Structure 1
Amino acid sequence: MDPRVAEIFPPLGVRVTCGPLELRGIGDTEMLALLDVVQDGIHDPARMPFFFPWTDAPASEMPLSYLQWWTRGLATWSREAWSLDLCALWEGEVVGVQGVATQDFLTFRYGETGSWLGRRFQGRGIGTAARQALCALLFDHLDFEFITSAAFTDNPASLRVSEKLGYRDNGISWSKPRGTRAVTRRLLLLPEDFVRGEPITVEGIEPLRRFIGLDA
């Protein structure tokens, strides 16, 4: 990626490393690699782990749908409502996405994490490491005061990751991703409860802090 693009849109210049894990901004190269992972499969088609069932799109429509999601993140960014979605790599291979979404962050100082991994990368501790690295970034470098998460009650893998990291129960809610009711377990992580992984190394954080309004 041309570094001038990250100068214009600093989220693209963020890079977090921790052992074999890397989280970095999603440029066009990462977007295309992620599309390959999506098309290779993320979850059992009989189950839907996402609140918006984007993986139900027909295979012929998925490339355009994913391109639209990627460009929408740039087009709709504002300090009032922003997301930081990072491409996750394990030992140099693109494996999925780890991100956080916020509303009125400068007032509330929290956001909700979301993620996915390709099916062939699941069950290896990658999801736990990626969430730990992201939460460390948010608490230590972006002044988050707490972090939320949510998962359907029939998604034990996601709930286990939250439990490992120290999230507390924070109520339940309901949604209907495929037209039928699904129960969502909501979770809350405080800095003092956070179970950390290995230390992270961060690049590109100062421009991002200015971009979201933390530093003058």
Structure 2
Amino acid sequence: MSALVDLFPPLGLRVVAGPLELRGLTDELIAELCDVAEAGIHDPADMPFYFPWSTAPAGELSRNTAAYHWGKRSTFAPDDFCLDLAVLLDGRVIGSQGVAAKNFPVTRTGETGSWLGREFQGRGLGTVMRQAMCELLLDHLGFEEITSGAFVDNPASLAVSRKVGYRPTTVSRIKRREGELAMQQGLVLTPEAFVRLGEPVEVTGAEAVRPFLGLDD
């Protein structure tokens, strides 16, 4: 009998960097992630996301978050995918780290995105989880470039990118919330510029994911 991880290999991903882990988003971890989102991600006056999903009312936010991840799982394909992982600290879910890509077998690039529960911010965890994710992508999943972006009024996110080795590219004018213009700083990371963690990173489950991304070894 097939296991769920056989049907959807990203569920078997695990990246360990000291007390911090990235794991494939099982339904159990999705439920825990929803609880973290409901507890708060940012000041209501701020909006760090391109789409203001975090402003949904209590209860609806959990349902929306779960539906989003289930939807991305069901439509996952090499030409268009979002690989989202749960971030855990000492076994407790604290946020999410992911990458989105289109036409990956040809482009070998994707854009990272992440969030942490508000109570876990300001402790350097955002940098560690991004470094762990980038090591997974560059060393194990065939990425040759990684992009990202952040609003210019989000210095914390920009600082994480800088520490990991991303360099700035273009600034774009985009709509953030209804009627609100925001300036988005584009970023790019190449393998030679990547600033790695100072400790070993243990990766398991990546070999099963490579063909799922359209990589022919």
Q: Normalising by the residue count of structure 2, what TM-score does the alignment of the two structures yield?
A: 0.96
Kindly report which structure 2 residues correspond to 1:141-180, keeping only aligned pairs within 5 A, or say none. 141-179=140-178, 180=180
Specify whether residues 53 and 22 from structure 1 end up closer, same or farther in structure 2 by C-alpha distance, changes over 3 A only: same
TM-superposition CA deviations, 1:35-93 (whole Å, max 9, x none): 11001000000010000100111114212211211211111111110111000001111
Which runs of no fewer than 5 residues in structure 2 stay unpaired?
A: none
Which is further off, 174-183 or 113-122? 174-183
Aligned partners of 1:79, 1:160: CA distance in 2, in Å? 31
1:134 counterpart residue number = 133
DSSP 3-state at the match of 2:160: helix
Tell me the distance in 2 between the aligned counterparts of 1:104 and 1:152.
26
Q: For the Cα contact (< 8 Å) 2:104–2:110, is it kept in 1?
A: yes
The letter of the residue matching 1:69 is: Y
- Name 1:193's counterpart in structure 2: 193
CA deviation map 1:145-172 (0-9, x unaligned): 1100100001000000000011111111
Letter aligned with residue 182 of structure 1: A
Q: Distance in 2 between matches of 1:142 and 1:205?
A: 7
Counterpart-to-counterpart distance in 2, 1:150 and 1:53 = 15
Query: How far did 1:202 drift?
Result: 0.8
Distance, in Å, in 2 between the alignment partners of 1:136 and 1:26 is 19
- Greater than 3 Å deviation, 4+ residue runs: none
Alignment-derived partner of residue 92 in structure 1: 91
Query: Structure 2 counterpart of 1:87, which letter?
Result: A
Say which is worse superposed, 192-201 or 155-164, in terms of deviation: 192-201
Distance in 1 (CA, whole Å) between partners of 2:87 and 2:175 is 28
Q: Does structure 1 retain, via aligned residues, the 8 Å contact 2:99–2:110?
A: yes
Task: Report matched runs for 1:9-48 at 5 Å.
Answer: 9-48=8-47
What does residue 208 of structure 1 align with?
209
> What is the aligned-residue identity percentage?
53
Q: For 1:177 and 1:57, how far apart are their aligned partners in 2?
A: 15
**1:199 to partner: Cα distance:** 2.1
Provide the rounded CA distance (Å) in 2 between the counterparts of 1:155 and 1:12.
31
**CA-based RMSD:** 1.3
Aligned-pair CA distance for 1:3: 7.9
Matched to 1:208, the amino acid is V
CA deviation after TM superposition for structure 1 residue 208, in Å: 0.2
Q: Residue 9 of structure 2 contacts residue 208 of structure 2 at CA under 8 Å; is this kept in 1?
A: yes
Take 1:176 and 1:23, find their aligned partners in 2: how far apart are those partners? 31
Q: Give the whole-Å Cα distance in 1 for the aligned partners of 2:66 and 2:214.
A: 28
CA distance in structure 1 between the partners assigned to 2:196 and 2:124 by the alignment: 14
Does the 8 Å contact 2:77/2:212 carry over to 1? no
Residue in 2 that maps onto 1:116: 115
Give the TM-score normalised by the residue count of structure 1.
Answer: 0.96
